[in-house]
Structure 1
Amino acid sequence: MTFRLLARDTREENVIPSHTATATVVLNVLPADLRTPWFLPCSFTDDYFCIQAQYHTVIPTGHKLPSPLILSPGPIYAVDGDQAINQPIVYSIMMGNTDDTFIINKDDGNLTMAKSIPSPMTFTLVVRAEQADMARYSVTQAVVEARDVTGNPLQFSQSLYFGTVVLGSEAGTAVKDKTFPSEILRIQAQYLGFPDLNSAVTYQVTNSSEFIMNKDILLTTVPMETERTIRIEVEANNTVTKDIATTIVEIQVSEREPPSTGVGELGDGQRFSTVDMAVLGGVLGALLLLALIFLIILIHKHYRHRFTCCSGKAKEPQPSGYDNLTFLPDNKAKWSPTSNRKPEPGPEPVQPPLRPPSPMSSSPTPPSSMPPSPQPKASGSPKTVQAGDSPSAVRSILTKERRPEGEGGYKAVWFGKDIGAEADVVVLNEPTADVDSASASGSEGSDDDDDPDQKKSLRLGAVADNTYV
């Protein structure tokens, strides 16, 4: 912020003489130094707080590495937590540096070895990062494990490498990877579990002067003028452990680059092979299959009752009520012939016309009050009830059920009209002519004198061939 100051030797502005003077004041507002240095990369950060990184590495025993140690997850590096201030950071080892085995660069934080370590052991170094103005500082740990390298030889990632060079290439052309022609072939040897030893590996071509190694890249030294296949040997030598490893590189010199088996270069330099795409397609196909299975299960769960009623077997119809198997269609009736039955002479008798009810009966009398005949009914057509026997005429319907053997003919069902509600079903033997006259004369004056037990026996008598309803 900028301010302008005015000074005058008079009280009023327009007084003469008056002398004035001006001055400019610039005020710079600086952020407050609130945060300590942060060791990167942060395990967690929200721009206000950082969970600082802790470093780790493995080194071989009996060897002094000339280059800075390769740490995980990265080199020792810290920044001022107040980015607006951004004070320089000064590094130092506070404790854990047994026998001053390690040295840390105070400006960049690179950790190097001052001497070799004779036996396996672990160093837990407490590293301090302090602002240059000494206002704030923070600390973290760097764990260094010294292990015996025996049993972990130097080895190449492949025993045979394949490269390609375009015919007519000039000297200094990098050999391309035959599998991925757009990429440069890199030949690397390493110690498994000892990343710091890998930085001390050098490479050279031992059996050909047409190629030379530039770190892990193979370059041509002469123009490639003829089509051929060249096999060369590359040797890797570790300057610390003096270990040696060799591999073979087969280089094809052709007019044009062989077709690529991978996907073209992307914007960020990534490339994908056919195998990568096949794996991706397989994974996507598996996910699609799982999604379809889940969808089918979900549909079956919600709509299985519809599938059951639509695709299930039709249930056999249940009987809605009582079926009288006696009344069957003619084409389904099966009559078993009765043994020793005489043929019936002539057609079945025709039912006589119904007789009108007798005017003499003023009050309805249930059929159960009529004395039934104790004699068996003669064979022949069923008879109608006399007018005096019932308040209304009854009629019979022949059935397809035959009478017992020896009698012949069919049984009949008798229906009466205006039967009172109190008479539900009454079963009577068919009266004979003599009994009809006797019952007619007796019904006039001796209805009240009849024995109740006799009436009951007549009403519920022996099984008759005719049924009155």
Structure 2
Amino acid sequence: MDLRPRESSAVFFLLVIFTLSKFSEAQSICSATFAHVIKENNAINAVVTTITAEDGVTARITSQVPEGLFSLDGYNLIAITVLDFETFVEETPHEVNVECTKVGSLSTTLPLKIIVQDVNDNPPAFAKSQYTLNVDELTKLETSVDQIKATDPDKTDVLYYRLDSPEGEFGLLTDFNPSIVVKKLLDYDKVKKITMTLYAQDTQIGSTAEVSHTASTTIEVNIVDIDNRPPWFQPCTEIEFATSKVCLNSGYEGTVKLNEQETGPLSLKPGPVVAIDGDKGRNDAIGYTFLEKTEDPTFQINIDTGSITMLKPVGNAEPIVLTVMAYQKENADQLATTTVILKVVISSNHPPKFVNPSYEGFISEDAGVDSLVLESKTSNRPLRVQATDEDFTNGYNPAIKFEVVDGTDFSITPEGFILMAKTVSPGTVNLQMRVFDTNNDESSTASLAVEVRPGVPTTTPVTTIMTSSIITTDQTTNTQLTASTSTSRPGALTTLPPSTGGLQGRAGEYSAGEMAAVGASLAVLLVLCLIGIGVMARRIKGHNADWKKLSEASIFRSSLGGGSGGPKEGMQYSNDGFQHDEDSGSVNSKLAAHLENKLESGMRRGPPQENMTRSAAPVPHTSSTSPPPDTSSLADSETIDGEKEVKPILTKERRAEEGYKAVWFKTDIDPNTKEDVVIIPDTGEADGDQEEDEDSEDEDNLRTDMDSEDDEI
């Protein structure tokens, strides 16, 4: 049928009106809401919606997608199964078509859309139960190292997170953003692994929601050691400075023999040259080299092991200093240096050896620190170990030292005495001692067994020992008592050493009576000493003048003899010492000039000539350096010379008579001038009171002249 466009439009419009009128008529018999919502996890036969229909209208489900979810109970649309939001696709709601039919009327179909509503019925979940992270040490703070999220089937839920870090090393960016960030400075040497727990919750943390679900996972963080440290020579002392760490090594020491070449690696202390990577977690390979490069080297070092060997003997006895550098083979910028000091020594044929292969000592447990170990149970003599060296003719090597190889309970002094280093319980302590030559480190060992006895005190070491023995003799028992005094450190126990025939016993075992006897003896000795000192002081004071006189006379006589011994008996002195005028600086010439001045002074001020020309009394032959006899005056002295009587005088004339000792001068004196003569004081017995008085007067005059001359000089 060929209809025009205008006519076609009219026909279509009429059809639409007819259809709508029929639908409206159908709708009038039943109706229902187009879309319906039901919560998941519903009860069986729960009503989804109710259809409104006229009387006599029947309803039935003609189709549903998916099948088997809903049913009609009269005009109620019910769910015959439990709906689950997690299996529901929001873009395609469930569809149910319900047909309504009335007799004599048209039937109609109601298309219904069923939407399943989500409820919080599922907990959140992490993809893995454990995560592993690797984080570099010294990572900058607030740096994000990873993000770990959880999922929740309840799509409408918002998840909140919480991180449990043991020491707060890590944290989260926010509570709803699980980005893990660094909160503390990480150090591989301190912490190598950190275990944390991350929690996810579908309600806000701290909320009071009726339903809340939580999930968790474990996070292990491995701290990675980065290459930030150079090699460290071993052994070394680690020192921290802020975030850095250094390791101090004191270097190495060893010995080599002069003009001898060692075979194999050199033995060094505190051990062989070895270095490790300062970044212990990396342990990079280390290389070694000498910094000094010479054309004809004496030593070489192994690039891989650091062992040092000799290429030729050493011909110089001076110490050798080698500088060793250790570096990382993969990163040579990481390096460190140390020194190796080699002492050149002369070879030895014999090492020092202990006198005995083993020693045994005894000490009390309450003796105290620094107490001496004794050589026996019943003696207070300290135990002393000794060593000899056959390279020395007398066996004494001054360069040896002692040490305890193992154990710290006891120590050895340089003299070989054993000291208690700390408190030790009763029992036997077995030690090994070592004696070594400090010049070449040759050594030998010996064993030491120290029995620590309970409750027996022993002596303690003294820093300075000054012993003086005072012996007193009892006339009736002929028993000697020796008292020993010592200066020791504070708190040291002072004991009296045993002496033959005297008091004996171990330290700390003297009875009260023995100690009282010692005290009484010392008191008596002290009183006797004081009395002796008093008597000596009084005699010195009373005879001071006599001592002075004797001293002056001795000096005068010594000057006459030209020597310290004075004039010799039976000899007449000549003036040979005055034969040379140029010898004016000699001692004899000076003495002669001095005596001549005194003679002239004596003649001017002396007594009458007749009293001065008599012969002098004999003078004892006594050295000028020995003390004179104890006399009250020179005139009272007895003649000591014995058979021959010597009469020393000063005169200006030569005399050849026997029994005189004369001193004359270069110029002869005319005997007729009757010059005065000065007579030396008489030391013999006086012939009478008159002669004694005159001699004393002459002596006083001579002394006065000499004192005057001395004052003028």
Check whether TM > 0.5: no
- Greater relative CO (CA pairs within 8 A, separation 6+): 1
TM-score with structure 1 setting the length: 0.31
